[in-house]
């Protein structure tokens, strides 16, 4: 039995972190089938990532990849064969699955491809210019206000 963790004290002392707390709650209550399918998350460089899922036996038309609201969802649904097979041993799990990955802000799915039983999903962080750090020059407040007013007049 899992113990429930009370995250309400975090809500009293923080602002804007509710999504993080929701992610922690989701991760702690995640009861998906014991790691199926297995996957890797690779950091290519500072802004590029790759998720690789081992999905032996699945074809492209058996897969559905969706990116919505900072969540990447990979689903696999294998069609049942019309004739039942008689296995002496079945070690390849061809059951359906659903894997969810929480993506950070500004991380977008760039591409996905299926190669040798591995599904590769390439991700890139695209931080908008207005959110990147910028150098602030030091000057008098009068000069700054005048420069801003002049720039408004020129732009108008």
- 139 part of a folded domain: no
Q: How many domains does the chain have?
A: 2
Give tens-digit pLDDT for 89-146: 988 877 899 999 999 888 999 999 999 999 999 999 988 888 778 888 776 566 666 7
- 52 or 57, which is more confident? 52
Rounded distance between C-alpha atoms, residue 34 and residue 153, angstroms: 63
Q: Which helix (H) or strand (E) holds 11?
A: helix 8-13
pLDDT category, 82, cuts 50, 70, 90? confident
Is the domain of 5 the same as that of 56? no
Verdict on whether the full-model pTM lies above 0.85 = no
Model pLDDT, residue 136: 80
Same domain, 122 and 102: yes
Cβ of 74: how many Cβ atoms within 10 Å?
22
Show the domain range for 60: 34-81+90-128
Whether 83 has a pLDDT exceeding 90, the answer reads no
Whole-number mean pLDDT of the chain? Answer: 81
Shared-domain flag, residues 62 and 11: no
What are the residues whose beta carbons fall under 8 Å from the beta carbon of 107, sequence distance 6 or more? Answer: 49, 70, 123, 124, 125, 126
């Amino acid at each position: 039995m899992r113990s429930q963790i009370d995250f309400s004290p975090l809500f009293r002392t923080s602002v804007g972190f509710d999504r993080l707390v929701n992610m922690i709650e989701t991760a702690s209550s995640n009861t998906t089938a014991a790691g199926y399918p297995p996957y890797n998350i690779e950091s290519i460089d500072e802004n590029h990532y790759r998720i690789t899922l081992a999905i032996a036996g699945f074809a492209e038309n058996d897969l559905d990849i969706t990116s919505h609201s900072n969540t990447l969802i990979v689903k696999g649904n294998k069609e049942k064969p019309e004739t039942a097979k008689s296995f002496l041993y079945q070690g390849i799990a061809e059951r359906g699955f659903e894997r969810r990955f929480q993506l950070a802000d500004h991380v977008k799915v760039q591409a996905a491809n299926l190669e040798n039983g591995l599904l590769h999903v390439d991700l890139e962080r695209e931080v908008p210019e207005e959110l990147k750090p910028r150098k602030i020059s030091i000057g008098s407040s009068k000069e700054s206000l005048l420069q801003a007013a002049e720039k408004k007049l020129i732009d108008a």
